[in-house]
């Protein structure tokens, strides 16, 4: 059971307003051992669920595991003579029941605890484990027997056997009947969550299935006894989850491949024969692109994408033919580019954005691949594609000579980091238009979407009090704090703003993801620390939940004006971040 605090990881370059962890901070690992228990008890799953789990770990396909069943409970038989243990979850809490058969001795149960500085039992009978930075509590166990079909609770609780061992004490009970001891972990303070799972992107198919991807730094994603890997590999692993339209279970059906982009430092990242790049290029990390079949049981293709420097994949889009368009940034001077592409040589000595198009098979050659940048720092964050195959890219640039086009909305930098929006020709040979988007402060484009008419919708965040807004937009004045989110719609020619608005309160607000529907409504997510972030009456959550940040979800009408269609916080008392929306 690992409790490791961690901020959401961001790119290798500094992006203002984003936490920038360097390595993984030390945490506390609690290990529980059944002292004197059977060394190899029979383990089985109980109450099989509808979904399946698939594991593509490492470069050896012989070790990949697919269609692994998922169970609601895990049953360990005869851990002590006459005593079983059943693990399960109830309302987000991990429970494990000790089932003591008639005639068996509950005093045989002895649990060793490693990783805690001190163990104690408080006045309420709860077990308290003191650890670095806080404490973990186990609620006083419920002890009961069933008599004539009626549950009868008994007096009992924890007892300390030694400094790092605990057991249970039970008052008088009927030894001829089964006894159940039910502890539950219910509170952890100052130590984060039981595992770190970070969702970064989401997509939805025509049937309403949701595809979620991100990174996990813990081993409590659904696994089963005997599966190939029931814990993560020690760093961050990518996960891809497909949910049915109601979100009630994992769905496995015949529609929809999932495309995932990111970055990896693993030299044995799972690639597929015939893929574009099956060998790690070098540097601390390479980008990767992976296509997963509709059932999640097979990698259609999986490839590295990088040179001998540090290259990160940050955005991906897919066209109707199944070609993947990707963006990110590259430090590599030998990042794979293609003849005839817009920029085949690295234009600066820092990281530059890149844009690449892969064919539906993910094989060589690339359809096109180009750098995109100037002489300083350029980062591609989000990408979208229209029906004609033109890619729309947003991100941030520190380059005063970032490639813009004549007649674009903003052809000159006002200094510092600016957002940019670039539309590439379907061949990747040149920009159709390319523009800065910013004021005199720091402006970061994070997400981009495109409508059927070619209008580009951009979400991000800014420190500029003079970020370009339009008359009649929802919020034309900076709200306050270190950053405000912004939402901007560009004319299909890139020559003007259809609308542009701040979106924020009096503290820090960051736009992260954006989507657009057929009617031209924009859906935006991100996170906020503002207690007065603009919400709408009757929204799901109109008050700030607490913690360092709450996620938000906001829908703007097609003109980007007042009133908002709807806007809500989405968060509790901890830290909640919105990263993607569909």
Q: Three-state DSSP class for 459?
A: strand
In this predicted structure, what is the pLDDT of residue 108?
92
Which tokens is 194 given? 């039981």
pLDDT at 96 over 90: no
- 154: helix, strand or coil: strand
Chain mean pLDDT for the chain: 85
Considering only residues 72 and 225, tell me which one the structure prediction assigns the higher pLDDT: 72
Give the pLDDT confidence score for residue 23 in this predicted structure.
Answer: 39
For residues 283 and 117, what is the distance between their CA atoms, to the nearest angstrom?
40
- Identify the burial level of 98 via C-beta atoms within 10 angstroms of its C-beta, where 0-12 means exposed, 13-18 middle and 19 or more buried: buried
Which pLDDT value is given to residue 469? Answer: 98
**Does the pLDDT value for residue 300 go beyond 60?**
yes
Averaged over 170-187, what is the pLDDT?
Answer: 83
What's the full length of the chain, in residues? 582
pLDDT at 194 over 60: no
Q: What angle do CA 69, 72, 75 make, to 5 degrees?
A: 90
As beta bridge partners, residue 58 has none
Q: Tell me the CA end-to-end span of the chain in Å, nearest whole number.
A: 33
pLDDT for residue 160: 94
Question: Alpha-carbon distance 483 to 443, whole Å?
Answer: 9
Assess whether pLDDT exceeds 80 at residue 579. Answer: yes
Give 476's pLDDT tier (boundaries 50, 70, 90): very high
**Residue with the two structure tokens 């360092």:** 548
Query: What are the structure tokens assigned to 392, written together?
Result: 């729309």
Report which DSSP code applies to 7.
P
DSSP state of 164: T
The tens digit of pLDDT for each residue in 41-77 reads 888 888 888 888 888 888 999 989 888 888 888 899 9
pLDDT digits (tens, 9 = 90+) for 3-40: 222 233 333 333 433 433 333 344 567 788 899 988 88
Phi first, then psi: give them for residue 106, nearest 5 degrees.
-65, -20
Q: 489-509, pLDDT tens digit by residue?
A: 999 999 999 999 999 999 999
CA 403/CA 554 separation, integer angstroms? 32
Region 75-84: mean pLDDT is 92
Q: Nearest CA to 84 among 32, 49, 43?
A: 43
| Confidence check: pLDDT of 226 > 70 | no
């Amino acid at each position: 059971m690992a409790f490791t605090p961690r901020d959401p990881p961001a790119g290798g370059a500094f992006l203002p307003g984003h936490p920038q962890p360097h390595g993984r901070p030390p945490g506390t690992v609690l290990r529980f051992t059944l002292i004197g228990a059977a060394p190899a008890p029979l383990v089985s799953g109980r109450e099989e669920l509808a979904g399946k789990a698939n594991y593509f770990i490492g470069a050896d396909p012989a070790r990949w595991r697919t269609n692994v069943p998922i169970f609601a409970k895990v049953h360990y038989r005869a851990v002590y003579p006459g005593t079983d243990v059943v693990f399960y979850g109830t309302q987000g809490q991990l429970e494990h029941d000790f089932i003591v058969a008639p005639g068996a001795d509950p005093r045989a149960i002895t649990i060793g605890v490693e990783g805690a500085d001190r163990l104690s039992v408080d006045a309420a009978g709860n077990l308290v484990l003191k650890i670095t930075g806080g404490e973990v509590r186990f609620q006083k166990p419920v002890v009961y027997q069933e008599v004539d079909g009626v549950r009868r609770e008994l007096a009992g609780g924890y007892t300390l056997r030694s400094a790092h061992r605990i057991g249970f004490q039970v008052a008088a009970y009927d030894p001829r009947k089964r006894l159940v001891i039910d502890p539950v972990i219910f509170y952890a303070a100052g130590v984060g969550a039981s595992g770190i799972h970070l969702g970064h992107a989401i997509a939805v198919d025509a049937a309403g299935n949701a595809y979620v991807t991100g990174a996990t730094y813990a081993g409590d994603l659904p696994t089963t006894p005997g599966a190939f890997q029931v814990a993560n590999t020690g760093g961050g692993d990518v996960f891809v989850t497909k949910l049915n339209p109601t979100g009630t279970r994992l769905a496995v059906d015949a529609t929809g491949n999932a495309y995932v982009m990111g970055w990896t430092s693993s030299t044995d990242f799972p690639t597929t024969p015939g893929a574009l790049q099956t060998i790690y290029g070098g540097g601390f990390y390479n980008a990767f692109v992976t296509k997963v079949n509709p059932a999640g049981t097979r990698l259609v293709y999986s490839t590295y994408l990088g040179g001998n420097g540090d290259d990160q994949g940050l955005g991906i889009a897919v066209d109707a033919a199944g070609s993947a368009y990707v963006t990110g940034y590259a430090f590599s001077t030998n990042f794979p580019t293609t003849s005839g592409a817009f920029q085949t040589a690295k234009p600066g000595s820092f990281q530059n954005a890149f844009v690449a198009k892969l064919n539906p098979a993910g094989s060589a050659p690339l359809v096109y691949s180009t750098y995109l940048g100037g002489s300083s720092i350029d980062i591609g964050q989000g990408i979208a594609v229209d029906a004609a195959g033109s890619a729309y890219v947003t991100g941030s640039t520190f380059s005063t000579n970032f490639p813009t086009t004549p007649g674009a909305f903003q052809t000159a930098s006002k200094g510092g980091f600016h957002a940019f929006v670039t539309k590439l020709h379907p061949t990747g040979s040149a920009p159709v238009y390319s523009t800065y988007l910013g004021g005199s402060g720091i402006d970061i484009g994070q997400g981009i979407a495109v409508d059927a008419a070619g209008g580009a919708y951009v979400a991000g965040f800014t420190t500029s009090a003079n970020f370009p807004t339009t008359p009649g937009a929802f919020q034309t004045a900076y709200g306050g704090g270190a950053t405000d989110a912004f939402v901007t719609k560009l004319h299909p020619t890139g020559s003007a703003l259809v609308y542009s608005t701040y979106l924020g309160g009096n503290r820090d607000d960051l736009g992260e993801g954006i989507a657009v529907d057929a009617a031209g409504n924009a859906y935006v997510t991100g996170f906020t620390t503002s207690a007065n972030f603009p919400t709408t009456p009757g929204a799901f959550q109109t008050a700030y939940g607490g913690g360092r940040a709450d996620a938000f979800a906001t829908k703007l009408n097609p003109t980007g004006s007042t009133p908002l269609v709807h806007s809500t916080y989405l968060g509790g008392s901890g830290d909640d971040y919105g990263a993607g929306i569909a």
